[in-house]
Amino acid sequence: MPALLTLLLRSIASLMVAVSMLTATYALPAADGIHKSAYVGNAKSHIFHEASCESSSKMKEAHKVTLETRDEAIELGYAPCGICKP
Point out which residues bind Zn ion (CB under 5 A): 49, 53, 55, 81, 83-84
Please identify, using beta-carbon distances, which residue of 29 and 82 lies nearer to Zn ion: 82
Q: Which of 58, 54, 80 is nearest to 67 (CA)?
A: 80
Are 53 and 42 in contact by the 8 Å Cβ rule? The answer is no
Q: Cα angle vertex 25, ends 23, 27, to 5°?
A: 65
Please identify, using beta-carbon distances, which residue of 20 and 68 lies nearer to Zn ion: 68
CB of 55 to Zn ion, least distance (A): 4
Please identify, using beta-carbon distances, which residue of 53 and 73 lies nearer to Zn ion: 53
